[in-house]
Structures are given as structure tokens and as C-alpha cells.
């Protein structure tokens, strides 16, 4: 019995040495075994975007550019920092003159980390280094700082459980029992109608917190646009930079932005708060809000269009789930933008990837696979695609500069989220 005390630690020590030796050896052999050069891509978006890269873009890109291999890294959920630590790391490498061991940030706002843009961390994008940027439409460029590659307008839609809505309507006597279709007047098609709908069906709608997923952020930015008479010219990067520069926003700036541009939206959102699910228990992240729909807790949520379509085709959503986009202006919070550090390990590869993302192939994938809006003009895309997506083709894709988001999140948390006494 006694011997075991010594046998066990000894055994584990031997095991530790063996396994750690194996790992070190593995790490060493991996480097330099492939002739292709690796492009390290940091992805911090929701899981649908990572899947899209892994299943579609990576094979497409590597076929078109056989000299490169993409190494995709998911750096975590939104709300948890995501690419932040890696951008910090690239900034540190710039300061020490080291190789940052990273080449491409799938989404990044080049105004962060504070000071990095002025110190030359982010590469200025122009037609010389990314030729395809010339294809980008004006609405896209308006939301860009010039140090990023805007390439996809993701779309957030409304998903609702039609059976559940019918049940409520029948119970209320609004429609006759046995009705199979929800009458049109009970389905919102514009933002004001949605606000009314929420109040008409208390506890049946919610949206997630804006910093945890685009499904919340795009809804909030849509409310902001609504409060500004759908005037998108207000929220360009240029307008922002002229007034607030590229540094950290001061308290006064944030207050000014909120008073001037966001106050109307907060009023609207506060007005519907008592009618939201659980009095405004805003879910954290896309998975948490989708659960409320799938487990039949509530009737309507905001959701990424591609996640919605995929979940529906796999039978993960309630059987009679329908999707709607607002007809007055879709819920698009601007274009997602990539950024490339000037000290990128594989700068050539990163630029090739950026150029590829704005190519016709990749832009078609944006439309077909993730149900987003292309960053290039529809005219440059295949005619077949235009026919297939005739319904969603719109020139009126809202533009909302990413730089405005920080103050919006701050404003939402201080003006909308404060706890109601429960």
C-alpha cells in the first residue's frame, strides 16, 4: 500500500517528461515543413463567419493562390476581447521591432489600440496594394478609415415563430381558430411598426446586448439611424475623425455624441424596454438570444441572416419560423472591415487575401453563403447572382462608420441598460 505514494508521482513525472518532449518535438517539426507560406488570419466574429472562412473562403483562396496557406484562428466570442489582445501584441511587436507572428485581422477598427495608428501599425489601403479596392462602392468607402479593408455588409434580420404568434392571436380573438397564416398586419415591416409590435405583444421580443454580437449591435445602430431620420451621412468616418480625431474619446466627447446623435434612439429603446422579454433581461451573445426562440420562450428575435438560414435548414428552429427584413432600411450596421499590420509576418499574403476578399468570387460568397451585402457594385457580380437575389438587391445599404460604435455601446449601457428594480 505504501509503495503507491512513491510510484504514482514517479510515474506521472516520467509521463510528463515523455509527453512534453513529444510536444516540443512536434512544434519544431511543424515549422518549415510546408513550401507554401502561411498567412495567419485572426477571426473574432461570431461562429458563422469562422465557419464561412473554414468551409468556403479558405479553399477558394488557396486554389486561386497556391503559394499561400491560410491559418485560421478564432480568437473568441464578441464581448470577450476577441482580436484585442492580438492587436495589442502586434503593437508591442512594432515597438520592439519583432515579428508579430500575425498577418491579417478579419475585423478590426484601426483606431485601436490607442496610438497605434499614429505610430504606423496599420497599413494604409490604396489601389496600389489592394487593386480591388477600386471596386468598392461609395457607401462602403464612407465607412472606412482608409487603413482598413471593408468587404462585407452582414445583415441582421428578424426571426419569428409564426405558430406561436398565431396561438397568441387566436387566444386574443384577433384571428379565427384554425387560421394557418399570420395576417400581414401582425407582422412588422418597418422600424416604427416593429416598435409598435413590441408593445402590442409584451414579453415576446428581445435583442441582445450590442457589444456581445452583431445581432444586438445592428439593431441598436438601426435605432440610431431611425432617430436621425435615416440620414447616413452623419455617421461617416470622415465626419467622426474631423471632430474627434483618432485618440481615446474623452468623457465630454462621449456625452456630446450621445446628446447630439443618440439621445433619440435611447428614448425609443427605453420606451420598449418594459415590453421586452423579462423586462429587459438583455441576453448576452447570439447563442443566448437564439435559445429564447428555439426553446419557445419568446416569439421574435434579431439574428444573423446566415445563422438563421443554417439553423432553419438543420431543423434547429421551431418548425414554422419565418424571417423578415425591415423594408424601410435593413438592419445593417455598416461594413465589416479587415486590417493589416504594417509589420505583418506575411505582408504579401495578407495583401493577396485582402484583394481576394474584394474579388468577384469572394463577394458572390458574401451574398450566397452568409446572406450579407457585397462591398462592390452589383454590376460587377455575375448576372445570375443578381437574378437569384433580386429581392434583396438594394442601393440603400445603410452605412455606419465603425468608429461610432464605441460611443454607442457606452451610451446604450449608461442610458438603456441600467437595472430596473426587480
Partner 1 sequence: MALLIVYPAALSVFDTLTATSADGSTRFTLESYVTFFQLPDALPNLWFTLRITVVTVTILFALCFPIAYYLRFSTSQLSVPVRFLALFPMFVPGIVTAFALIRFLGDNGWIENILFSLTGWEGWVSPIAKPQGIVIGLVWEGVPVTVLVLTAGLSQVPNHLIESARDVGANGRQVFFRIIFPQIRRSVMIVLTLNFLGVFGAFTIPLLLGGASPQMYGHYMANRLYGIGQYTHAQTAAVIMFLISAAVGTLYVRSVVNQRMEKGE
Partner 2 sequence: MAAQAPSLWTTFRRNTIRSFAAMLRQRWFGISMLLLLAAFILGPMLNVLVWAFTDARIQPPRLVPEQWSLKWWGETFTRLDVAGGFMTSVGISLTVTLVAALICLPASYAFARMKFRGRTPFLLSFLMVNAFPRFGIYITIAVVFFRLGLVGTVPGVVLIQLVNTLLFMIWIPTAAFQGVDRSLEEAALDAGASPLRVFVQITLPMVLPALSASLLLTFVGTFYETQGALLIGIPNVKTLPVVIITLINHHIRQLGAVLSVALWVPSLVLLIFAQRVLRGGTLAAGFGL
- Interface positions with partner 2 (CB under 8 A): 1, 4-5, 8, 12-13, 15-17, 19-20, 22-24, 26-27, 30-31, 40, 42, 46-48, 50-51, 54, 71, 73-77, 81, 84-86, 88-89, 91-93, 95-96, 98, 100-102, 113, 285-287, 290-291, 294-296, 307, 310-311, 314-318
* Whether the Cβ atoms of residue 167 and residue 388 lie closer than 8 Å to each other: no
CB of 42 to partner 1, least distance (A): 14
Strands 336-338 vs 205-206: parallel, antiparallel or unpaired: unpaired
Cα distances (Å, whole numbers) of residue 365 to 45, 46, 158, 245, 382: 17, 17, 22, 35, 12
Q: Rounded CA gap, 320 and 378, in Å?
A: 32
Q: Between residues 25 and 80, which has the closer beta carbon with respect to partner 1?
A: 80
Is 296 one of the binding residues for partner 1 (CB under 8 A)?
yes
Reference 104, options 139, 55, 143, 69; nearest CA is 69
# residues near partner 1 by CB under 8 A: 41
Interaction pattern, residues 302-321, with partner 1; x per rule: CB under 8 A: --------------------
Determine the Cα–Cα distance for residues 210 and 216; give it in Å rounded to an integer.
4
Query: Of the candidates 278, 327, 386, 396, which one interacts with partner 1 according to CB under 8 A?
Result: 278
Stretch in the footprint of partner 1 (CB under 8 A) among 22-30, 329-337, 366-374, 402-410: 402-410
- Closest-CA residue to 145 (of 45, 43, 241, 261): 241
**Binder of residue 278, out of partner 1, partner 2, none (CB less than 5 to 8 A by kind):** partner 1
Q: Does 334 bind partner 1 (CB under 8 A)?
A: no
Secondary structure (DSSP) of 18-78: HHHHHHHHHHHHHTT--SSEEEEEEE-S-HHHHHHIIIIIHHHHHHH-TTEEEEEEE---T
DSSP, res 235: G
Pick between residue 4 and residue 31 the one whose CB is nearest to partner 1. Answer: 4
Among partner 1, partner 2, none, residue 24 binds (CB under 5-8 Å by kind): partner 2
Residue from 57, 82, 374, 376 binding partner 1 (CB under 8 A)? 82
Q: Which of 17, 177, 281, 327 forms a contact with partner 1 (CB under 8 A)?
A: 281
How many angstroms separate the CA atoms of 131 and 413, rounded? 40
The stretch among 110-118, 130-138, 221-229, 359-367 that binds partner 1 (CB under 8 A) is 110-118
Between 168 and 287, CB nearer to partner 1: 287
The Cα–Cα gap between 308 and 298 comes to: 16
Phi, then psi, of 73 in degrees rounded to 5: -130, 125
* Binder of partner 1 out of 80, 101, 230, 316 (CB under 8 A): 80
Q: Smaller CB distance to partner 1: residue 79 or 264?
A: 79
The span of 26-34, 171-179, 321-329, 407-415 binding partner 1 (CB under 8 A) equals 407-415
CA 196 to chain CA mean position, Å: 27
Give the closest residue to 143 by CA, choosing from 392, 369, 305, 373.
373
Backbone angles phi, psi at 340, to 5 degrees: -125, 125
Q: How far apart are CA 127 and CA 397, in angstroms?
A: 24
In eight-state DSSP terms, residue 202 is: T
C-alpha span between 238 and 138 (Å, rounded)? 13
Taking CB under 8 A as the rule, does residue 369 contact partner 1? no
| Residue with Cβ nearer partner 1 (143 or 330) | 143
Query: Which one, 373 or 412, has the nearer CB to partner 1?
Result: 412
Binding site for partner 1 (CB under 8 A): 77, 79-82, 84, 109, 111-114, 209, 211-212, 248-249, 251, 278, 280-285, 287-288, 291-292, 295-297, 406-407, 409-410, 413-414, 417-419, 422
Amino acid at each position: 500500500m505504501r509503495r503507491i505514494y512513491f510510484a504514482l508521482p514517479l510515474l506521472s513525472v516520467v509521463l510528463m517528461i515523455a509527453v512534453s518532449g513529444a510536444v516540443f518535438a512536434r512544434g519544431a517539426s511543424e515549422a518549415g515543413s510546408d513550401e507554401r507560406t502561411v498567412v495567419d488570419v485572426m477571426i473574432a466574429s461570431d461562429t458563422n463567419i469562422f465557419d464561412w472562412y473554414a468551409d468556403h473562403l479558405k479553399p477558394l483562396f488557396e486554389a486561386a493562390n497556391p503559394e499561400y496557406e491560410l491559418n485560421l484562428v478564432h480568437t473568441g466570442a464578441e464581448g470577450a476581447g476577441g482580436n484585442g489582445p492580438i492587436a495589442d501584441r502586434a503593437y508591442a511587436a512594432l515597438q520592439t521591432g519583432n515579428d508579430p507572428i500575425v498577418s491579417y485581422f478579419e475585423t478590426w477598427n484601426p483606431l485601436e489600440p490607442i496610438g497605434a495608428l499614429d505610430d504606423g501599425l496599420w497599413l494604409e489601403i490604396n489601389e496600389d496594394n489592394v487593386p480591388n479596392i477600386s471596386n468598392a462602392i461609395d457607401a462602403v468607402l464612407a465607412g472606412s478609415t482608409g487603413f482598413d479593408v471593408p468587404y462585407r455588409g452582414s445583415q441582421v434580420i428578424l426571426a419569428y415563430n409564426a405558430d406561436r404568434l398565431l396561438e397568441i392571436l387566436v387566444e386574443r380573438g384577433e384571428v379565427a381558430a384554425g387560421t394557418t397564416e399570420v395576417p400581414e398586419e401582425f407582422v412588422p415591416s418597418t422600424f416604427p411598426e416593429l416598435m409598435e409590435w413590441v408593445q402590442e405583444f409584451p414579453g415576446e421580443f428581445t435583442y441582445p446586448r450590442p457589444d456581445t454580437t452583431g445581432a444586438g449591435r445592428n439593431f441598436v445602430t438601426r435605432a440610431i439611424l431611425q432617430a436621425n431620420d435615416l440620414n447616413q451621412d452623419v455617421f461617416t468616418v470622415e465626419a467622426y475623425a474631423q471632430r474627434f480625431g483618432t485618440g481615446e474619446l474623452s468623457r465630454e466627447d462621449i456625452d456630446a455624441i450621445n446628446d447630439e446623435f443618440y439621445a433619440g434612439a435611447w428614448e425609443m429603446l427605453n420606451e420598449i424596454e418594459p415590453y421586452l422579454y423579462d423586462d429587459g433581461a438583455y441576453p448576452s451573445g447570439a447563442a443566448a438570444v437564439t435559445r429564447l426562440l428555439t426553446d419557445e420562450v419568446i416569439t421574435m428575435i434579431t439574428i444573423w441572416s446566415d445563422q438563421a438560414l443554417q439553423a432553419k435548414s438543420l431543423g434547429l428552429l421551431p418548425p414554422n419560423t419565418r424571417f423578415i427584413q425591415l423594408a424601410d432600411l435593413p438592419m445593417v450596421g455598416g461594413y465589416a472591415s479587415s486590417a493589416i499590420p504594417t509589420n505583418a509576418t506575411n505582408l504579401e499574403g495578407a495583401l493577396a487575401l485582402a484583394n481576394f476578399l474584394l474579388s468577384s468570387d469572394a463577394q458572390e460568397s458574401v451574398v450566397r453563403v452568409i446572406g450579407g451585402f457585397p462591398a462592390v457594385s452589383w454590376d460587377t457580380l455575375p448576372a445570375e447572382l443578381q437574378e437569384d437575389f433580386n429581392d434583396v438587391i438594394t442601393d440603400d445599404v445603410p452605412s455606419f462608420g465603425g468608429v461610432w460604435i464605441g460611443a454607442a455601446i457606452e451610451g446604450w449601457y449608461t442610458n438603456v441598460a441600467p437595472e430596473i428594480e426587480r
